Amino acid sequence: MEKLINDFSFGLFIWQIILFVSLLLLLRKFAWKPILNAVNDREDGIKDALAAAEEAKKEMQNVTADSEKLLKEARAEREAMLKEAREIKNTIVSDAKELAQTEGDKMIKQAQAAIESEKKAAVADIKNQVANLSVEIAEKVIKEELSDKSKQLKFVEGLLGDIKLN
């Protein structure tokens, strides 16, 4: 212990304190802070890059899943559209059919009615003509018959002869 105290040099102690503290302050300002900050920044950068890579990977997975989903959706939509189209087609066809049917029926009925009325008119016309003709013929016949008086008288005599007065 005595040797230690004897070896202790106060001057060296002071120099050591002065030099070491100034070294500490200088290095703190010009070396340690920039170095540690740079290292920290670098580590943060690496961490960020890793996180970004992970994020990108997840995003990729999401995108794949999304596209798959979209594909499925598109397929379903196509199915639905096809189905709908088919349905529309069916309804259109059936509607058309129905419409045609009713329209046809209506037309037939109209035609029938027309035919009926034409027929009636024709029949009436024919009846008239027949009546006219009959009358004319009868007129002519009667005229003919009546033109020959002797004959008439003969005929009437014949007729009168047939009639037996009972």
Residues of this chain, 1-20, that bind another protein according to CB under 8 A: 4, 7-17, 19-20
Q: How far apart are CA 91 and CA 89, in angstroms?
A: 5
Instruction: Confirm or reject binding of residue 28 to another protein (CB under 8 A).
Output: yes
Q: How far is the CB of 40 from another protein (least distance, A)?
A: 9
Residues of this chain, 68-127, that bind another protein according to CB under 8 A: none
Q: How far is the CB of 2 from another protein (least distance, A)?
A: 9
Q: How far is the CB of 55 from another protein (least distance, A)?
A: 21
DSSP E strands: which ranges in the chain?
Answer: none
Which position has the token pair 């802070």?
33
The single-letter DSSP state of residue 28 is: I
Q: What is the widest separation between alpha-carbon atoms in the chain?
A: 206
Q: How far apart are CA 20 and CA 15, in angstroms?
A: 8
Q: Which residues bind another protein (CB under 8 A)?
A: 4, 7-17, 19-24, 26-28, 30-36, 38-39, 41-42, 45
